[in-house]
Amino acid sequence: MRQVVLLVIAVLSLLPVGRVYSKNGDKRDDNTLRIMSYNIRNGMGMDNSTDYQRTADVIIKACPDVVAIQEIDSVTGRSGGKDVLRELAERTLMYYTYAPAINYDGGKYGIGMLSKEKPLNFRYLSLPGREEQRALLIVEFEKYIYCCTHLSLTEEDRMLSLPIIRREAATAQKPLFIAGDMNASPNSDFINALQKDFVLLTDSKQFTFPADKPTETIDYIAAYAKDTAAFTRISSRVWDEPMASDHRPVVTDIIFMQPAAKIFRTEPYLQNPVGNGITVMWQTTVPTYSWVEYGTDKNQLKKARTLVDGQVICNDIQQKIRLENLEPGKTYYYRVCSQEIMLYQAYKKIFGETAVSDFHSFTLPTASSSDFTAVVFNDLHKHSATLQALYKQVKDSKYDFVIFNGDCIDDPANHDEATRFLSELNETVGAANVPVFYLRGNHEIRNAYSIGLRNLFDYVGDKTYGAFNWGDTRFVMLDCGEDKPDTHWVYYGLNDFTDLREAQVGFLKEELSSKVFKKAAKRVLIHHIPVYGNGDDYAPCPELWGNLLSKAPFNVCLNAHTHRYAYHPKGSVGNNFPVIIGGGFDMNGATVMILQKKGKEMSLRVLNTKGEVLQELNL
């Protein structure tokens, strides 16, 4: 039989307009594929009326990623000179690929494909058909190959087509699927022979023809058998559409397995190192079951995972696992592990590959530890160049932890935007090995994903304010909220920081009178918006907290927000302790602080992007 490879006549249209489909946006969708096959009878329904919009509406409602389509005219007399597949592509906002099988009525008649993703390439071959020539359309996408066909009405020709289909499948370097109107019943010799090399993804017990009252199954979607380990089927159905064509569409959903090397989206980062415990957080590109393996000996590791009410928290892309009952002063080694969950149902779960990170390490201070070095950044406003310039000045310091004092991940619009800079911050300072504290600035309160930032952090005490000890030094963190009244128009009535600020009055009273605060060798106050030296008209925090802070024996207060470096000695602006305000994100005004304690002495150095020392204080 003569095999014809046609590459010129087919049309691949690139549509400039947006797509009509939307999904929930999580990373599972990146690996999920909805495949559809539909014999559209050239748009003619069971009422013998041709309506391309009706056909397009069926596809739109099914929301497939790719559709194999059979029985399509291209500029024929019957179609009124219209390119039917192009018509459907414009109405569904999808790319189209056409494969003519025969000349017909002044134009062409054949098969085609619609896809949300632009194909990488395509080709088509002739298949035998004594009543009319048949075709096989092969379209390659990034992760898979999808084939469309409409086989002959005769069994002999269908069986002659099978070796051609097998040969093409065997040469594929990606998972390959084939779909179409096979014109064969589930018990036919052809379908039985096809299943020696292919796995049916659609349910052959669900009838597809005729559309109004189906009594036969002749439409199928199948996968080349050697590729089935690369994905799992989620569901399959015959679409309930009795009128738009004489066939009903078939639809199946699959998930591709994520390679282990692509499961981790971020490196792990350490949070909340209090109470002889520490939290390990990271993100994955797909939903996973995750755990941490840790111990003081790499050859004798324990396993930690997150359980709530007896259930493991899993099937998400955000991983958060607490390591408890650690021994301060000892070095712990750990690695994070994430196994993809491809399917999570009540009575069926399918797992993919497992990613395992390199080993990282950390050491918690003992209660009597007197020495530490901390690095403090502020007001980076997602400026990578400023971050890198400042880090260059402190990278050789052997710091024990890092504090980002607000407005670093500013105005986050969505999860991806926040994650990108969060990852840069963490990877720059080595947060896989040293814990990082994120304090909220007023710009972290703004934009659509601002409340979502809470999912990326593990706050001390699960609040945006709190206190912790690093050895014999006490750190107290406050949250001033926004820098304008809650009634300001820009907040649209969605903010109310009154209760948050008043709650911190009670917190401060309790903290300042606590034994752990009074016993501390040194005490550090840190918050984003300054209580002293702010200069702004709106200042509710001094009114609420001023009486308490006026007598509080802090050794230093570290602030930000104004984008102007400033040092206010004790008593200069009504402050009972030295106040240091960091600079902004501009390369000429940005600063980084190094807070260090050795024995009984504590010092602070403030550096600019050039490494110049702007301030050096003994506290």
* pLDDT tens digits, 126-143: 999 999 999 999 999 999
- Using a pLDDT cut of 70, give the percent of the chain over it: 95
Give the C-alpha separation, 51 to 118, whole Å: 26
Residue 537: its pLDDT value, please?
64
Neighbours of 101 (CB within 10 A): 25
Chain-centroid distance of CA 519 in Å reads 44
Cis amide bond preceding 210, omega within 30: yes
Consecutive H or E run containing 295: strand 278-297
Residue 559: its pLDDT value, please?
96
Six-digit token pair at 517?
């605060």
Name the pLDDT band for 24 (thresholds 50, 70, 90).
very low
b/e string for 243-266 if b means 16 or more Cβ within 10 A? Answer: ebbbbbbbbbbbbbbbeeeebbbb
Q: Which residue has the tokens 């993804």?
A: 201
Residue 48's nearest CA partner among 164, 210, 183 is 210
Consecutive H or E run containing 290: strand 278-297
Name the pLDDT band for 229 (thresholds 50, 70, 90).
confident
* Helix (H/G/I), strand (E/B), else coil: 65: coil
In this structure, is the dihedral angle defined by the CA atoms of residues 287, 433, 363 and 591, taken in order, positive or negative?
Answer: negative
pLDDT score of 233 more than 90: yes
Rounded to two decimals, the pTM is 0.85
Helix locations, 298-345, DSSP H: none
428-473, pLDDT tens digit by residue? Answer: 999 999 999 999 999 999 999 999 999 999 999 999 999 999 999 9
Beta strands in 17-94 (DSSP E): 32-39, 66-74
Q: What does each C-alpha distance from 234 to 145, 177, 252, 368 come to in angstroms?
A: 19, 15, 8, 56
Is there a contact between 114 and 104 (Cβ–Cβ < 8 Å)?
A: no
How does DSSP classify residue 19? P
**Phi and psi torsions of 226, nearest 5°:** -70, -15
N-terminal to C-terminal alpha carbon distance within the chain:
91
Q: What does each C-alpha distance from 69 to 181, 467, 582 come to in angstroms?
A: 9, 63, 63
Cβ-based burial of 229 (10 A; exposed 0-12, middle 13-18, buried ≥19): exposed
Name the pLDDT band for 27 (thresholds 50, 70, 90).
low
Residues shown for the chain: 619
168-224, pLDDT tens digit by residue? Answer: 999 999 999 999 999 999 999 999 999 999 999 999 999 999 999 999 999 999 999
Residue 28: its pLDDT value, please?
62
* Helix (H/G/I), strand (E/B), else coil: 62: helix
Name the pLDDT band for 31 (thresholds 50, 70, 90).
confident
Give the C-alpha separation, 341 to 346, whole Å: 13
**Phi and psi torsions of 296, nearest 5°:** -80, -10
**pLDDT mean across residues, the chain:** 93
355-408, pLDDT tens digit by residue? Answer: 999 999 999 999 999 999 999 999 999 999 999 999 999 999 999 999 999 999
Residue 228's nearest CA partner among 255, 203, 262 is 255
